[in-house]
Amino acid sequence: MTVLASTRPVTLIGGAPFPRTDLEAALALAPGVVAADGGADQALALGVMPQAVIGDFDSLSDEARAAIPADRLHHVTEQLGTDFEKCLSRIDAPLVLAVGFSGARQDHFLAALNALARRVGPRCILIAGDDVITLAPETLALDLAPGTRVSLVPMGDASGRSTGLKWPIDQIAFAPDGRVGTSNQATGRVELRDMSGPMLLILPRAQLKLLAAAL
């Protein structure tokens, strides 16, 4: 069931700590706002009223519940997925920029990466510390400066082809318990092609706008 439909990208706010600059960067590209459960408290503390709050509400404060209009509170009782998944599966948008899903509990962060790998909901970029993380699409082109870090981390058996990487990925069988592509480097424009299997693309935080536009 769709809770929020938007023709523009949406910012999703979680309950883990994050700097105001991350939220500002997300909102500049994705003005719609959804909060995942206790992420609503984070949003309100930073002066942002979410358009929707989705979750099981086990971490939503009474103060936030009282401050947010009742028709924006969407209580989901099923426990088959995390609040991150519950939000992604109920957002209809071209792209989601997620903040507040890393840096606190690592089990929550790993669960968010797992949701990306399983392609839950719209395309999504996690803003996580010094990095931005997304599931690599089948094809992608990025005009990166030479020397830019490009990491490819498989979440299952994965493969693909590339141009513009210092260490090309052609004919490499990637796997979580085998070969990974950490800390590759761009030599200029990077193109990924024929990407198969769940592969996370990790770029420096400064590449958020470029990555969002490419997706």
Residue 172 structural domain: 140-214
Residues 93 and 177 placed together within one structural domain of the fold? no
* Residues whose CB falls within 8 Å of the CB of residue 70, separated by 6 or more in sequence, listed in order: none
Give me the pLDDT at residue 77, please.
85
Rounded to 5 degrees, what angle do the CA atoms 144, 184, 204 make?
A: 50
One domain for residues 57 and 100: yes
Distance CA 6, CA 142 (A): 25
> Contact, 175 vs 157, CB < 8 A?
yes
**Do residue 124 and residue 177 come from a single domain?**
no
Say how many domains are in the chain.
2
Residue 135, in any domain of the structure = no
- Which residue's structure tokens are 């948008």? 93
Which tokens belong to 133? 């993380």
| pLDDT value, residue 7 | 97
Mean pLDDT by 10 residues, the chain (215 residues): 95 94 97 96 96 94 96 88 93 97 86 95 96 98 98 98 98 96 97 98 98 97
Considering the domain architecture, whether residues 119 and 198 belong to the same structural domain is answered as no
Whole-number pLDDT of residue 68: 98
The pLDDT of residue 78: 80
Question: Residue 199 contacts by C-beta under 8 Å, 6 or more apart in sequence?
Answer: 135, 136, 152, 153, 154, 155, 158, 160, 174
State the CATH number of the domain containing residue 206: 3.40.50.10240
3-state secondary structure of 47: coil
**Which among 202, 187, 209, 191 has a CA at the least distance from the CA of 150?**
202
My answer on whether 96 and 175 are in the same domain is: no
**Domain identity same for 97 and 17:** yes
> Per the domain annotation, does 134 fall within a domain?
no
Say whether both 124 and 25 belong to one domain. yes
Distance (Å, whole) CA 17 – CA 101 = 8
> Closest Cα to residue 38, out of 72, 10, 61?
61
Same domain, 32 and 10: yes
Q: Are residues 172 and 93 in the same domain?
A: no
- Of 129, 157, 177, the position where a domain reaches its end is 129
- Boundary of a domain, candidates 129, 159, 181: 129
